[in-house]
Structure 1
Amino acid sequence: MSRVLDLAALRSLITIAELGGVTRAANVLNLTQSAVSMQMKRLEEALDVQLLNRQARSVTLTSAGEQLVGYARRMLELNDEAVTRLTTQDYEGRLTLGVPHDIVYPHIPGVMQRFAAEFPRVKVHLVSSFTRGLLKQLEEGSCDVILTTQESRPEGAETLATLPMVWIGAKNSRIWRDRPLRLAFEPNCLFRGPVQAALEAEGIPWDLAVEADSSRTVEASVAADFALQVMLRGAMPEGCEEVPDCAGLPALPSMHINMYRRNGTPGPAVERVQALLRLAYGAPVSGAERTAAE
């Protein structure tokens, strides 16, 4: 008798593989951890193989799990294509999404991939800039939806998440011991003011050792242990880590990740990308949005 694999469970398996854990996958999929764990158990029982290595602190894929992920991607791609072609109107056009460069990861690639599968004839233009610049572009009408990082929640903003700013340095760095404290920032970064004010309030001398228009240059300087930077928790670049609490650096305020939409009546594409952003950040969603995600 032929066995039929559960597509929802396969989608959960792929998400576990991408995010490295059941809890993280459950948050992104808007499911409970127990629901995702049960999906994995049923998959293993259906195939009579172990898919996950379950250890105390981490979950990794077995060789069978890695093999199944390859099949699952192909199966879900064909499923999503069929559903899109048969049930979704062929919306065409262009959608411009603006996102600050420091929060492009970890959520935006997944949002764009899901949106492209559902609206294959809509051309998506991703603009990566600073919050001030994105707000100006939204006002001018050149962006349809933007995300910002702000200390406040202005009128018209929908807050998707509130995250703490954290000190970031190279792995195993001790540069935080140096005085003046060496900082790395881009010229228009909104984090500079709060960071410098916090240091001055604590009487900690600082020096702007790196000021570059490129976020890559700033990140490379930090990874090389040349300076420290500040980012929102969860957006840390490769080769870096949070500075430990024992460093005694001042606590920093939290920032809101706010979403704005261009004035006017939104089309289905704009509404859908907003829904996908809410799901990615774990913000409250409507029943219809949750059903569409599932």
Structure 2
Amino acid sequence: MLDPRLLRAFTAIVDAGSFTLAAERLHMTQSTISQQLARLEGAVGTELIERAARPVEPTAAGERLLGYARRLLALQQEAQAAVGEPAGTAAIRIGVPEDIVDAAMARTFSSFARRHREIRLDVTTGLSRDLTRRYRSGEFDIVIVKESEPGPDCRVAFAEPIAWFESIDTPPDIHTLGTHADPVPLVAFPPGGLYREAMFERIEREDRRWYVAFAASSLHNVLVAVEAGLGLSLLPVRAAQDYRVRPYAPFDMETAMAVSLYSWESTGAVSELVDSMQSVLAARATPFRPRTDTAGELR
């Protein structure tokens, strides 16, 4: 491997056309730069500089080496700069449901990243129960989850309206004809999803027979399946706005879910990001209120 210090001495001599000038530019003595050139020539096994020429110039072998020497030195500078650059060297790990990362949340992440170049945002999307489990095990610094009731340690919680949806292309008389009546086709999330369980509970309370016609882990895929007429689904009202779906008339609105934000830290950059994320959630929802049963008592 060629020593970068020797390559630097060689290129300096060629650029300056003089051992004396090259030594001055590198802040060393003429004898030192001569010794470094001699060591490089010994390493490659041939002379690299025509010493008798005025100004001095590279030999044929020196000309061939010169381009490689410049590239090697440039790569060394790039490597040193990359190692010394703090950008992205620290990470904040965030878990969120898929539909939470909308344009407003993405702008919040972008604004934070511009202010904190040293921090890398590692964002993972998934089902709320899995995100909660991973947060509790320490895999995330910040997590936003959907749940029936917020936990006591949540930073803030907002209400998310949910409703049943069907394809907008469903014929208007389909309910009287009973197409969805026996059994009802459902579009669902995988087992363990909150919407899936709430959907099953409601439809069984209605004493309706049902079956899962389509299942997907992506909210987009679930909405596309409903849009295509594969079945009914229980979904966030906000997420359904951009799809060709409409509320399923026979069922009323469901009780809102809580969109809860949790964070292990309450100071520093993490807390700053949490505050910004909280503002985005506040702009799209109302604060979550504790639910009451028919007797007016807190659940």
Specify the TM-score bucket, using the shorter chain as the normaliser: 0.5 to 0.7
Q: Which secondary structure state, in structure 2, belongs to the residue aligned with residue 227 of structure 1?
A: coil
Offset of residue 250 of structure 1: 4.1
For the residues of structure 2 that align with 1:229 and 1:104, how far apart are their CA atoms? Answer: 21
Equivalent residue for 1:217? 221
Deviations 1:209-255 (CA, angstroms, capped at 9, x unpaired): 112344443232112111222222212264333315xx211431110
For the Cα contact (< 8 Å) 1:195–1:252, is it kept in 2?
A: no
- Quick one: which of 255, 258, 280 aligns to 1:256? 258
Offset of residue 105 of structure 1: 2.9
For the Cα contact (< 8 Å) 1:219–1:237, is it kept in 2?
A: no
For the residues of structure 2 that align with 1:280 and 1:251, how far apart are their CA atoms? Answer: 24
- Quick one: which of 110, 118, 121 aligns to 2:107? 110
1:166 equivalent in alignment to 2:150: no
For the Cα contact (< 8 Å) 1:186–1:213, is it kept in 2?
A: yes
Q: Which secondary structure state, in structure 1, belongs to the residue aligned with residue 240 of structure 2?
A: coil
- Quick one: which of 195, 198, 220 aligns to 1:191? 195
For the Cα contact (< 8 Å) 2:215–2:222, is it kept in 1?
A: yes
Q: Which secondary structure state, in structure 1, belongs to the residue aligned with residue 239 of structure 2?
A: coil
Offset of residue 168 of structure 1: 2.4
Equivalent residue for 1:84? none
Equivalent residue for 2:239? 235
Gaps of 5+ in 2: 1-85, 284-299
1:149 equivalent in alignment to 2:143: no
Equivalent residue for 1:11? none
**Aligned AA (1:117):** R
For the residues of structure 2 that align with 1:249 and 1:277, how far apart are their CA atoms? Answer: 33
Q: Which secondary structure state, in structure 2, belongs to the residue aligned with residue 116 of structure 1?
A: helix
For the residues of structure 1 that align with 2:144 and 2:231, how far apart are their CA atoms? Answer: 27
Deviates more, 1:193-202 or 1:215-224: 215-224
- Quick one: which of 193, 200, 204 aligns to 2:208? 204
For the residues of structure 1 that align with 2:205 and 2:97, how far apart are their CA atoms? Answer: 28
For the residues of structure 2 that align with 1:250 and 1:266, how far apart are their CA atoms? Answer: 39
**Pair 201,99 (structure 1): closer, same or farther in 2 beyond 3 Å:** same
How many equivalent pairs are there?
191
For the residues of structure 2 that align with 1:159 and 1:232, how far apart are their CA atoms? Answer: 19
Q: Which secondary structure state, in structure 1, belongs to the residue aligned with residue 159 of structure 2?
A: strand
Deviates more, 1:157-166 or 1:140-149: 157-166
TM-score, normalised by the number of residues in structure 1? 0.58
**Pair 103,191 (structure 1): closer, same or farther in 2 beyond 3 Å:** same
Offset of residue 111 of structure 1: 2.1
For the residues of structure 2 that align with 1:107 and 1:169, how far apart are their CA atoms? Answer: 27
Offset of residue 158 of structure 1: 2.9
For the Cα contact (< 8 Å) 2:156–2:262, is it kept in 1?
A: no
Q: Which secondary structure state, in structure 2, belongs to the residue aligned with residue 157 of structure 1?
A: coil
For the residues of structure 1 that align with 2:194 and 2:255, how far apart are their CA atoms? Answer: 12
For the Cα contact (< 8 Å) 2:199–2:233, is it kept in 1?
A: no
For the residues of structure 2 that align with 1:181 and 1:121, how far apart are their CA atoms? Answer: 52
Deviates more, 1:158-167 or 1:212-221: 212-221
Equivalent residue for 1:278? 278
**Pair 198,272 (structure 1): closer, same or farther in 2 beyond 3 Å:** same
Q: Which secondary structure state, in structure 1, belongs to the residue aligned with residue 91 of structure 2?
A: strand
For the residues of structure 2 that align with 1:149 and 1:228, how far apart are their CA atoms? Answer: 21
Q: Which has the larger radius of gyration?
A: 2
**Pair 91,127 (structure 1): closer, same or farther in 2 beyond 3 Å:** closer
CA RMSD of aligned residues (A): 2.5
For the residues of structure 2 that align with 1:168 and 1:117, how far apart are their CA atoms? Answer: 39
**Pair 251,200 (structure 1): closer, same or farther in 2 beyond 3 Å:** farther
Q: How does 1:83-162 map to 2 (within 5 A)?
A: 93-105=90-102, 107-162=104-159
**Aligned AA (1:249):** F
For the residues of structure 2 that align with 1:235 and 1:217, how far apart are their CA atoms? Answer: 12
Q: Which secondary structure state, in structure 2, belongs to the residue aligned with residue 120 of structure 1?
A: coil
- Quick one: which of 171, 176, 180 aligns to 1:178? 180
For the residues of structure 2 that align with 1:161 and 1:107, how far apart are their CA atoms? Answer: 16
For the Cα contact (< 8 Å) 2:155–2:263, is it kept in 1?
A: no
Q: How does 1:17-32 map to 2 (within 5 A)?
A: none
Offset of residue 161 of structure 1: 1.2
Gaps of 5+ in 1: 1-88, 284-294
